Amino acid sequence: MSATAHRPELTCPAGGLPALKAAVDHGADCVYVGFRDETNARAFEGLNFDPATLRTGIDYAHARGCKVLVALNTFPTASGWPRWTAAVDRAAELGADAIIAADLALLDYAARTHPSLRLHLSVQASATNYEAIEFYRERFGIRRAVLPRVLSIAQVEHTIANTAVEIEVFGYGSLCVMVEGRCALSAYATGESPNCQGVCSPAKAVRWEPLDGGMRTRLNGFLIDEFHGDERPGYPTLCKGRFDVGGDVYYALEEPASLDALDLLPDLVRIGVRAIKIEGRQRGPAYVAQVTRVWRAAIDACTAAPRSYATDPAARAALARLSEGQTQTLGAYSRPWR
């Protein structure tokens, strides 16, 4: 690695205008947002942007040298196709720097209708190798691809070495064990799919039931978990519930934990990752501000002096306090058995 290295962009979430401003003010290079409908994969009540608010956000970001990316990362339904194409048109008209999309037809529409609009391939497309990414580049001219959180560092490096498309990876935030863009658990329990309706565990299906000294959570009647004592109740999703399996009650599919790749930052810089993404459009401005501040300082320090970079213990502790389930993991990036 050279004495100085290429600095990856820091891509941060914004579920509303206060979060967008927090990301911009604390050093984000890009902020990703969604409209207030099912065209984005975080279509929760109270989140996201109407056109007027997004215009304000784009103006605020651009005035401070920050890009705004619009997530149109769900899969259009046959009856809803006009809503998705209208969202592409709206993003272009408002001056978004790029859209983040996964659906083949929507990428085709964007490439034909708005040829100057930059296209990023969403993690929802589940493109896990350079052959898949090259397919999207050759047909739709994508400029960047967000990799699913299932690849090791070596696999990410191999992908980067074999495509001209910029590669973005997740650095921090909530994890999911399901194949991104393909999960059917929420649809099974609630009838609403995050892939099409933009919601995993929609709030209208969530129930919180007080217990003696605790809390029980349900999703559309399914018992997801029980919390007692000092346990912090988590938002109920089927993949992160505790279930009775053979008489043992435990997290049968996935434990609540946040990806935290801060210690791997020198490797991500070395292999040529072009952007590092922070998960959390459903989180508040305070979360966005803190995580953005930590990762901005870390990226700047690592790219200025990569050979001597070491994770700041205070930064690691700050992220730990924000982690889901108060637990951190390197996820698939680290596979010590290989």
How far is Cα 335 from Cα 121, in angstroms, rounded to an integer? Answer: 26
pLDDT at site 338: 54
How far is Cα 158 from Cα 155, in angstroms, rounded to an integer? Answer: 5
DSSP states of 70-122 as a string? EEE-SPPPTTTHHHHHHHHHHHHHHT-SEEEE--HHHHHHHHHH-TTSEEEE-
DSSP states of 181-225 as a string? T---HHHHHHS--TTTTS-SS-GGGEEEEEETTEEEEEETTEEEE
- Which sequence spans correspond to the domains of the chain? 9-175+257-333, 185-251
CATH topology of domain 9-175+257-333: TIM Barrel (3.20.20)
Residue 101 φ then ψ, to 5°: -135, 160
Tell which residue, 202, 73, 72, has the closest CA to residue 126: 73
Tell which residue, 193, 241, 199, has the closest CA to residue 217: 241
pLDDT at site 337: 55
How far is Cα 54 from Cα 35, in angstroms, rounded to an integer? Answer: 8
Write out the chain's pLDDT in tens, 338 residues: 555 568 999 999 999 999 999 999 999 999 999 999 999 988 888 899 999 999 999 999 999 999 999 999 999 999 999 999 999 999 999 999 999 999 999 999 999 999 999 999 999 999 999 999 999 999 999 999 999 988 999 999 999 999 999 999 999 988 776 667 677 788 888 888 778 777 788 888 899 999 888 899 999 888 989 888 888 777 888 878 888 899 998 888 777 778 899 999 999 999 999 999 999 999 999 999 999 999 999 999 999 998 899 999 999 999 988 887 667 777 777 766 55
Q: Which two tokens stand for residue 140?
A: 């739709």
Strands 30-33 and 67-72: parallel
